[in-house]
């Protein structure tokens, strides 16, 4: 991976989001609007096919290259379905299908589709079968997660535009794993945003004649917050590297570990953030809840902690020999 490219892309995304989206954007989308101007700004960066191989007209980047930009998206509360589009295009590319222009999203068959009602095209993945539908071929039962992000259940009423099969390296659970990886990275970004809000509040809100952040009890809590946030970020990056090195299917262990770490961090840090922000953080007016509700929601998407810990536990129970041998056998040693 070229760290320079990854950082540059993240910087571009962060800049575009800073100009085109803020807390009013999040409010509007949670009220049912599609943030068209933010979408224009972000899609103008041409990152939709970031993970599509160059031979298929994409940028040929790896998951690890995308993690910083996914964090930047999460840091802004993911006001547009860009992560979904990047994941969908990657799945299509793997199945040999060209990604269409416009708003694109994906889900495993049977799971609610993020941003479904707003999409021009939707990728539904059933095992290794990938089907691309135009919006006209789907009828939506609208729903939402607790962040009030659109999570819609499709009924298929027409034929797909294209169909294909994922190669073995992607496996039969690729949709969940890709979603888990995307969400893990976004959660790391959302954690950073919530941390900034909590630190800012701790440094300005005064009680007993001084900022509450001067109290050790508050400092120690925010230190835990920062540690968990770093853990989520490192885990997402490490899982992405595993996915690039061995393919999505064989990186399910690492992706699961990252999702568990992000999910635990979300629970612990959201609680700390609200404790520090106190009643202010519970108001609709304050920005914090846009991030904490996303953290609570994204825990459930791409496999919860309950799902992944059971998976990981079963994997290590079944692995012959010591856990340590299993863990180290998964290190990516560079080819000699």
Partner 1 sequence: MTGLRFDLRDPPPGAAALRAEVRAFIAEHEHRWTPEVRARSWMGFDRDFTRAVGARGWIGMCWPKQYGGAERSFLERIIVLEEMLAAGAPVGAHWIGDRQSGPLILRLGTEAQRQKFLPKIVSGDYAFCIGLSEPDSGSDLASLRTRADKVDGGWKLNGRKIWTTFGHLCDWMIALVRTSPPPEGGSKHQGLSQVLVDLKAPGVTIRPIRDLVGEEGFNEITFDEVMLPEDALIGQEGAGWAQATSELAFERSGPDRYLSSHPLLETGIEALRSDAAAAPALGREVARLWTLRSMSTAIAGMLQDGDDPVRQAALVKDLGNDFEQALPGAMRALRDVEEMPEAMRRMHDYLTQINPTFSLRGGTREIMRGIIARELGLR
Residues lying near partner 1 in the complex (CB under 8 A):
3, 75, 192, 195-196, 199, 202-203, 213-214, 216, 218-220, 222-224, 226-231, 233-235, 237-238, 241, 253-254, 256-258, 260-261, 264, 305-306, 308-317, 322-324, 327-328, 331-334, 336
Task: Give the shortest CB-41-to-partner 1 separation in angstroms.
Answer: 21
Angle at 3 between CA 173 and CA 179, to 5 degrees: 20
Task: Give the shortest CB-312-to-partner 1 separation in angstroms.
Answer: 3
What is the sign, positive or negative, of the torsion defined by CA atoms of 128, 134, 139, 143?
positive
Residue among 37 and 315 whose Cβ is closer to partner 1: 315
Number of other CB atoms surrounding residue 293 within 10 Å? 20
Residue among 151 and 201 whose Cβ is closer to partner 1: 201
Task: Give the shortest CB-267-to-partner 1 separation in angstroms.
Answer: 12
Task: Give the shortest CB-333-to-partner 1 separation in angstroms.
Answer: 5
Task: Give the shortest CB-153-to-partner 1 separation in angstroms.
Answer: 28
Query: Are residues 74 and 14 in contact, defined by beta-carbon separation less than 8 angstroms?
Result: no
Task: Give the shortest CB-264-to-partner 1 separation in angstroms.
Answer: 8
Residue among 178 and 218 whose Cβ is closer to partner 1: 218
Between the alpha carbon of residue 29 and those of residues 25, 116, 118, the distances in Å are 6, 13, 11
Residue among 108 and 237 whose Cβ is closer to partner 1: 237
Structure tokens at 135: 């919006």
Question: Which residues, other chains included, contact 143 with Cβ-Cβ below 8 Å and sequence gap of 6+?
Answer: 112, 150, 151, 152, 153
Q: Among all chains, which residue has been given the structure tokens 């304050």?
A: 286
The single-letter DSSP state of residue 144 is: B
Question: Which residues, other chains included, contact 208 with Cβ-Cβ below 8 Å and sequence gap of 6+?
Answer: none
Residue among 138 and 257 whose Cβ is closer to partner 1: 257
Give the H/E segment covering residue 181. Answer: helix 174-204
Task: Give the shortest CB-184-to-partner 1 separation in angstroms.
Answer: 11
Question: Which residues, other chains included, contact 306 with Cβ-Cβ below 8 Å and sequence gap of 6+?
Answer: none
Residue among 56 and 275 whose Cβ is closer to partner 1: 275
Residue among 104 and 193 whose Cβ is closer to partner 1: 193
């Amino acid at each position: 991976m070229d760290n320079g490219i990854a950082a540059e892309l993240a910087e571009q995304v962060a800049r575009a989001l800073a100009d085109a989206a803020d807390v009013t954007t999040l409010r509007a989308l949670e009220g049912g609007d599609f943030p068209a101007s933010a979408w224009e700004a972000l899609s103008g960066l041409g990152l939709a096919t970031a993970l599509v191989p160059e031979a298929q007209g994409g940028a040929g980047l790896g998951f690890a290259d995308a993690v910083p930009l996914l964090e930047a998206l999460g840091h802004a509360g993911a006001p547009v379905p860009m992560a979904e589009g990047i994941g969908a295009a990657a799945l299509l590319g793997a199945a040999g299908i060209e990604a269409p222009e416009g708003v694109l999203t994906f889900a495993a068959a049977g799971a609610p589709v993020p941003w479904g009602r707003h999409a021009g095209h939707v990728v539904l993945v059933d095992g290794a079968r990938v089907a691309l539908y135009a919006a006209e071929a789907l009828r939506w039962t609208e729903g939402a997660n607790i962040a009030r992000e659109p999570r819609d259940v499709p009924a298929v009423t027409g034929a797909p535009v294209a169909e294909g099969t994922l190669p073995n390296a992607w496996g039969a659970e690729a949709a969940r794993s890709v979603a888990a990886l995307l969400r893990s990275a976004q959660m790391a970004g959302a954690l950073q945003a919530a941390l900034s809000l909590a630190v800012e509040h701790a440094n300005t809100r005064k009680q007993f004649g001084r900022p509450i952040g001067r109290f050790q009890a508050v400092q120690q809590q925010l230190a835990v917050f920062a540690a968990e946030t770093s853990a989520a970020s490192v885990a997402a990056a490490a899982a992405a590297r595993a996915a690039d090195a061995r393919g999505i299917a064989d990186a399910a262990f690492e992706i699961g570990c990252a999702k568990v770490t992000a999910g635990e961090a979300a629970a612990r840090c959201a609680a700390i953030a609200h404790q520090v922000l106190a009643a202010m953080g519970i108001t609709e007016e304050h920005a914090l809840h846009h991030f904490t509700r996303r953290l609570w929601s994204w825990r459930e998407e791409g496999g919860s902690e309950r799902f992944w810990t059971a998976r990981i536990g079963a994997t290590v129970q079944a692995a012959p020999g010591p856990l340590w041998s299993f863990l180290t056998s998964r290190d990516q040693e560079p080819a000699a």
